[in-house]
Amino acid sequence: MKLYCDPMEFAEEILEDIETEIETLGLAKIPNPLKSPNQCFVSDEHRVSLRVNYRYLQETISQNKSVPSLELAGPRPYIYFDPSKVKAGIVTCGGLCPGINDVIRSIVMTLYYSYGVDKIIGFKYGLQGFIPNYGHPIVELTPEVVKDIHAMGGTFLGTSRGHQPIEEIVDTLERLNIQILFMIGGDGTFRAATKITEEIKKRGLKIAVVAIPKTIDNDIWLVSKTFGFDTAVEMACEAIRCAHTEAIAVPYGIGLVKLMGRHSGFIAAAATLATKEVNFCLVPEIDFDLEGPNGFLAELERRLVSRKHAVIVVAEGAGQKYVRKDPPEYDASGNIKLGDIGKFLKEKIEAYFKERKIDVVIRYIDPSYIIRSVPANVEDRIYCGFLGQYAVHAAMAGKTGLMISYLNEQFVHIPLKEAIKKRKQINLKSRFWLSVLESTGQREMKNSL
């Protein structure tokens, strides 16, 4: 579904800079063992055009230029690796997200049943699992081991944050005779995967690195929608409905819900559209003033006076200018630690209305860890299955340094070095964001308009 996350909308200015060719380890000569009579093989010549707007398309055609296109994902008629000899590894990194176990299960099942690969291992606790000093055991993965993990939240393999020595990671791949590495993670994981690919290439090794994009925030560039996002929105809607119920139960009731979204407010915005009960949606992409005649607090007062209740949804990365620490603090992955905008807003709202002698009742809900820890819903579960399957098809064909993406309603291969160039954020000129504003009725909360 492209409604809320098409990263190419209004992005024609960067299209010509995108490299789309996928690296391969060598010529694929082994006939694909897939025997299904309905199996549809694809070739590297099957391409998917990047989604572009009409003006860009017309200009491109008039200048006799070609529209950038991406390699279509899917099984190839010939593969690079001998299934009887190949050994694959899987690692999950970063924060939790609904659907990780579904992807792990899909990879294992496709390797085992579709290609006959029976040597599959999992690395425990993210990139730490490659480093001998941590002493984390490896896990042998078989269909019997993973058959029920999709019913569990979190990650069966465990995870961790933080950088690890790339040379030691590749040493472990060599020592364990791994030919394929599947990395499930987000932006930080992709940067590590890019460096691992470069180190493998420098050593002249034949190891394929294939990444599956994982972020609950849906902020990975060149991906229409990341897995777990639909589940996150569904769970966020439950929190918003509870906040609304609490708000309307008392005079001057305020429901305040903080949702995940460090740099991009897709969860907050999509949940706002889905519930129709939100009056203010605050996201990292939009600056807002707190005080003043056109600030947030004054707008909230006008809403309460007219309707006697209000529901506010705020993404965790919104309004950081008010809660940013100086000097900044960083987590193990090098990300700036966010200030607690939810708690800050609650305190500011209470103080503002106390000064005006208006007795407000605030119900503050932060469901972040509940949202990211639950099993995937039906739609995400199906999506995760496809991602795992397409990752295996790409790896067995000898492709490397790529991310499996869903873009323009097709599964495609994206070079990792392109996926990490920028972060996807809400396009404030898009129909999606305008729909959010129409749903909430909120105005631009800035004093200098």
- CATH value at residue 286: 3.40.50.460
Q: Give the CATH number of the domain where residue 45 resides.
A: 3.40.50.450
> Is residue 275 domain-shared with residue 320, that is, in the same domain?
yes
pLDDT number for residue 13: 46
CA distances (Å), origin 333, targets 95, 158, 160, 180, 422: 11, 16, 9, 25, 17
On whether residue 237 sits in a domain, the answer given is: yes
On whether residue 263 sits in a domain, the answer given is: yes
Instruction: With a cut of 80, say whether residue 65 has pLDDT above it.
Output: no
Q: What is the pLDDT of residues 314-323, one digit of tens each?
A: 999 999 999 9
Q: Worst-scoring range by mean pLDDT, 57-61, 126-130, 394-398?
A: 57-61
d(CA 15, CA 57): 11
Phi/psi at 329 (5° precision): -110, 150
- C-alpha atoms less than 13 angstroms from C-alpha of 327 in its C-beta half-sphere: 1
Interval 51-68 mean pLDDT: 62
> Is residue 60 domain-shared with residue 188, that is, in the same domain?
yes
Q: What is the pLDDT of residues 114-140, one digit of tens each?
A: 999 999 999 999 999 999 999 999 999
- Give the type of residue at 439: S
Instruction: With a cut of 80, say whether residue 54 has pLDDT above it.
Output: no
Give 311's strand partners. Answer: 255
On whether residue 430 sits in a domain, the answer given is: no
Grade residue 64 by pLDDT with cuts at 50, 70 and 90: low
Q: What is the pLDDT of residues 189-241, one digit of tens each?
A: 999 999 999 999 999 999 999 999 999 999 999 999 999 999 999 999 999 99
The tokens for 81 are 């690796």
> Is residue 215 domain-shared with residue 263, that is, in the same domain?
no
> Is residue 173 domain-shared with residue 113, that is, in the same domain?
yes
Range of the domain at 312: 229-373
d(CA 369, CA 29): 47
Interval 411-440 mean pLDDT: 94
On whether residue 448 sits in a domain, the answer given is: no
Instruction: With a cut of 90, say whether residue 61 has pLDDT above it.
Output: no
Longest Cα pair distance anywhere in the chain, in angstroms? 78
Instruction: With a cut of 50, say whether residue 47 has pLDDT above it.
Output: yes
Task: For residue 428, count other CB atoms closer than 10 A to its CB.
Answer: 14
On whether residue 50 sits in a domain, the answer given is: yes
> Is residue 43 domain-shared with residue 111, that is, in the same domain?
yes
> Is residue 365 domain-shared with residue 382, that is, in the same domain?
no
271: helix, coil or strand?
A: helix
The catalytic residue positions are 217
d(CA 208, CA 26): 11
CB 341 within 8 A of CB 316: yes
> Is residue 142 domain-shared with residue 156, that is, in the same domain?
yes
> Is residue 313 domain-shared with residue 407, that is, in the same domain?
no
> Is residue 325 domain-shared with residue 391, that is, in the same domain?
no
Rounded percentage of the chain residues whose pLDDT exceeds 90: 81
Strand duo 208-213 + 23-24: pairing: unpaired
pLDDT number for residue 1: 45
On whether residue 4 sits in a domain, the answer given is: no
Helix-strand-coil percent breakdown of the chain, rounded to 5?
Answer: 40, 20, 45
Q: What is the pLDDT of residues 349-369, one digit of tens each?
A: 999 999 999 999 999 999 988
On whether residue 435 sits in a domain, the answer given is: no
d(CA 367, CA 380): 19
pTM: 0.92
> Is residue 91 domain-shared with residue 55, that is, in the same domain?
yes
> Is residue 210 domain-shared with residue 251, that is, in the same domain?
no
pLDDT number for residue 10: 41
Count of structural domains within the chain = 2
Grade residue 12 by pLDDT with cuts at 50, 70 and 90: very low
pLDDT number for residue 35: 76
On whether residue 425 sits in a domain, the answer given is: no
pLDDT number for residue 167: 97
Instruction: With a cut of 90, say whether residue 326 has pLDDT above it.
Output: no
Which of these, 374, 407, 426, 73, lies nearest to 228 by C-alpha position? 374
Residue 371 or residue 39, greater confidence: 371
User: If 0-12 CB within 10 Å is exposed, 13-18 middle and 19+ buried, where does residue 348 land?
Assistant: middle
pLDDT number for residue 9: 52
> Is residue 154 domain-shared with residue 216, that is, in the same domain?
yes
Instruction: With a cut of 60, say whether residue 103 has pLDDT above it.
Output: yes
Interval 81-98 mean pLDDT: 96
